[in-house]
Chain A
């Protein structure tokens, strides 16, 4: 479960299928597939005729998704490849298309960035967090982004400073803020602790 009470972090309210949509576009990562499968259990599978599913992650949920009778199903080898495809799908999307994102927070954040860049209102996107609580973090000093951060402090993968992961999230970057933890007394950084397993 994600820690609650961080004001700047988006609230992931759950996928909740919008039955009135003309089209459903899903971008799912790993355990995010389960979020869709659970919706089918409670909603039935009727909406799948109008659904396009983009997936990245292990084969296991991929197999289950492939068996669904969705209009279109596509798997990507990596997240950046999926994001490219998502962009293409959104560019071709028509009025009445609903976007759904599920997976780790870093994945949701990056997919949301693609949508925001195309002018989609973030309030209209349905999201559900699944999988690890690892964070995507931007170093406030060098501005480099490190994915899948599980500890605080952690070492910036770009400039090498030990960074404290602040509970402050930028939708525009799809990342938390990392701040040098031992700036006041260089060399005094505490040992990393796994806070985001």
Chain B
């Protein structure tokens, strides 16, 4: 399958769009007409062709443009990519996993050949041809996690496991929904989830942690998370909040279909073989309301979900200023008919 990569921007003139096929494969995060936090984890196994689950590390039409955007963010703020010193083995694990998965899923675009520790990586979309020695940092242009995550869509956290907890000890975050890697690095699972409302009280994090501590190699898991973003902006970091915050006050009944985006995170978690750390992939997908409206099931469901949200969640996700305008605009697509279970289009 040959992907046609789009040239588009996630800032300034915001030329990002989804092709009709990309709309159909969007991982819509609501399996029913309401939403509340839950431990919604399932095995990360391959799904139907034409869905975002077709490959376990998904590469899509936005790949090249997303990598260009990441480059810009890192140039402005190198602290978006950090790794504590004890994480080097986990960095190599991450490099191997992402190279192998991308090569397996998209052999026409990526290839990895190994001859003992002498590895050869070819990334055709980005024009990269790299021979290196696995385990020898001096044979790569930068540390392994940074090297490979500059060539993979999504944010990545590598969490170390010790003292019956998970510790966010390395990561790269340039497409994040308002959390700071620089601030959170070194925190444990409960600490970095500290600001999330409601979920602590209903025991979600305790159960999720218990589950993840037992994650097995070769059996990755996934969950979907979501928020909303004004304009197709990947970098909604707290660092740059003064740059994107004002966008939230620009939504009107006239522009809501074009400006308001559903932002879905396909999060997958992988036990790493050498380090016993866990790679936490946070892959971000954006879709504007006009695009959602082309899928009847989603257009019916989304306004119902937005109406069902508890106020704490509306506030935490930053929807307050434009939720009602969005519900009003979407409601014209909701004829009240029942929706089928599950996330996929009918």
Contact = CB atoms under 8 A, between A and B. Distances in A.
Do A and B pair up? The answer is yes
B187 A8 contact: yes
A7 interface: yes
Contacts of A183: 241-242, 245-246
B246 A186 contact: yes
Count class of interface residues, chain A: 20 to 34
Nearest to A182: B245
Given A6-B194, A8-B192, A184-B246, A172 B185 contact: yes
Interface stretch (A51-59, A93-101, A160-168): A160-168
20 contacts: A6-B194, A7-B191, A7-B193, A8-B187, A8-B190, A138-B183, A140-B183, A140-B241, A141-B239, A141-B241, A141-B242, A167-B195, A168-B194, A168-B195, A169-B191, A170-B186, A171-B187, A180-B241, A184-B245, A186-B246
Main secondary structure of the interface of A (DSSP, over half): loop
Nearest to A116: B186
Nearest to A6: B194
B273 interface: no
Contacts of B185: 172
A10 B79 CA distance: 24
Contacts, number: 68
Interface residues of B, number: 26
B182 A143 contact: yes
A91 to B, nearest CB: 19
B184 interface: yes
A152 to B, nearest CB: 15
B321 interface: yes
Contacts of A7: 190-191, 193-194, 200
A169 B79 CA distance: 18
Contacts of B321: 184
Contacts of B131: none
A58 to B, nearest CB: 33
Contacts of B180: 140, 177
Interface string A138-152: 101101000000000
